[in-house]
Structure 1
Amino acid sequence: NKANFVLYLRPIDLPKNELTRDELIRQISAVLDNSIQIKAVSAIDSFENKEVELISDSPSFYEIKELIATVKLGSLESYQPLFIRDNIDYDKAMLISLKLNKWPGVFLTNKIRREYLSDSEGSPIISGVESLSHILGYTGKINDSELEKMGSKYSLIDYVGKIGIEYSWETELKGEAGRKNIEVDALGRQKKIINEVLAQDGFNLMLAIDLDLQAKAEEVTKTYLEKNKFKRASVIIMDPQTGEVRALVSLPAYNNNSFAAGISQEEYDKFLNDPNRPLFNRSISGEFPSGSTIKPIFAAGALQEGIINEKTSFLSNGGLRIGEWFFPDWKAGGHGVTDVRKAIALSVNTFFYYIGG
């Protein structure tokens, strides 16, 4: 997880003079919109001790002004923190924190958002497991419909699982938010804590995925794609004794941090317009012909229903003709006399034509 700095304003505490209030908003928006450049300690010191001089107002200035204008001064809402921005990076958060004692009505809090480990270039930090993105999925800011569905345990600034494990196990992974009831004075300032419930961590989740096997499966798949000049592939490896999925690869994959940190419309459109559909998990969502993987299921069903037994045999002579239609075996001339064991071992089409027909 990674620190997620969140900025709030409490309208009742903002300067009452409009010019003074606008100047405060200008300085806040200057930090949010990179209208000032801070690259050294001396620059931070300068920011702490001086007012910021701007040539023109940045986009956030107007957004914040419009947001504040929706709150009637003196109303109950004016005493409540007004959400301004989250996902504020560390450097900007430090700049804002330096000014908090001089910026009335400005609050900076620290929430947590998911960060998936990656190297300096954005690639997964564990080499060869890019495809984990399709397994893990990602989190993103909750939307209105999700908030309505999930109920009072969530707020508009929460992040929730959108897809993959993050989505399927959202309730277990989230935990319980803390809460605090406080007594305030007429100016909305805290006087004392009435009661407090501490936050509770969510559960840890252990997957059946074998990381080494996942990495090897992805490596082999990528080699196959490159060799055959293909772009898309899917691999699933399961334990036949337990049914556990030990590896699940869908290529191409994507960097789930792009979504966890908040993706721009431009970046998202690139994913949507990519003909190879990197967001599509072929392993669980693709619809493909079953091929011969269905044969053991047919065999098990026929044995269970008494259609055949372990000694039932058919002659495989290269195929089966029905009227003008000919259904071939994969081996010219056929496999000869074939029972169920041989049919499964050699994938004998003719045997399954008979028991399925």
Structure 2
Amino acid sequence: MEFAQRLVALVETGRRQSTYKLATMMAIMDVCVENQPRPDGTLAIPVQELAHRVVAYYWPQVRPFAEYGPLRQSKSAPPVILKLVGDARELLLDRGVRTPEAAREAEDPDYLRMVRSVELILAKYPLTHLQTPTRQLAHLRNDFIYDASAFHNNVTRRELEQHGPLVLRPGVAEALRDFAPLLKPMIEMVWVGDVVACNRQALEHDDIAGFLFGSERSHLLSLRNPLRELQDGRCFYCDRMLPAEVHIDHVLPWSKVPIDGVANLVLVDAACNLDKSAMLPVRVHVDRAVTRPAGDLSSIADLTGLPVLKTRTVNAARGIYGTLPPGVPLWRAPKQYAPHGNLS
């Protein structure tokens, strides 16, 4: 609890010129949810892995927001990372590559070149200053998350490669995984506030939150027919025949862990989707989703251009359910719930 309190205080009082630090902190947490720490409690995270995940957060955010156009996420000059992501996104969409995960799986050279640029920017700025309080309290800096001594504003790629991965201090990965359900919504709320403050328009917080952190559903529409065939025309959750109007659902909710992979996506009816909303389902639903025939999932991935991401889904489920307190209600079916730990 002390670690979580320190992190909250850092987010609330830390120096920020852009949303880089918030995106980096979210990326670190996502890695902790999906990966087990070493026996000594540390967790090594390649900076390039953080770059991939920061890119994934910004990917939908560089779209124009209604009539306002692209939203500013900096108090001064437009952040370079958003420009890099925006340019790469436009280029890749023209080639039919719709998600950063798909570009990563395909090892697209333009995408990988962009990620390497983002990697160096992360090392120079957010990773250097992430643990720095306000300017007035800079002398109180304490690298309680990771040792940042190798990062600085002029770090070179050679220095970064020689340094190797960022290593979270003992116990930090476990704490971030355990407190992610509380910390992520708080950081998202701060992020929304920063974006509203950076833009002169009268923006509604709720509208901005949905735009920044909601799943970009348009690229999932191609899944409808293949998933309908895979599921024999039945809702994944209730097994009733699907109507003409169907919903695509993230089995592990997008708000918990942003995984847009075929292994985490199912076709459901409106009743199930609206009732489940952002709740965690009983574990059996996740197990059923990830154990669908690998060949079928791969065929759907090839057909739609979306990656499978089975390993990420399995690892995320292990991290989420493994730290969930007993008794937490999990969604089973419309109006039906089961406490975690009770054969869920």
Verify same fold: TM over 0.5: no
Instruction: Give the structure with the larger helix fraction.
Output: 2
- TM-score scaled to structure 2, two decimals? 0.19
- TM-score scaled to structure 1, two decimals? 0.18
* The structure with more radius of gyration: 1
Instruction: Give the structure with the larger strand fraction.
Output: 1
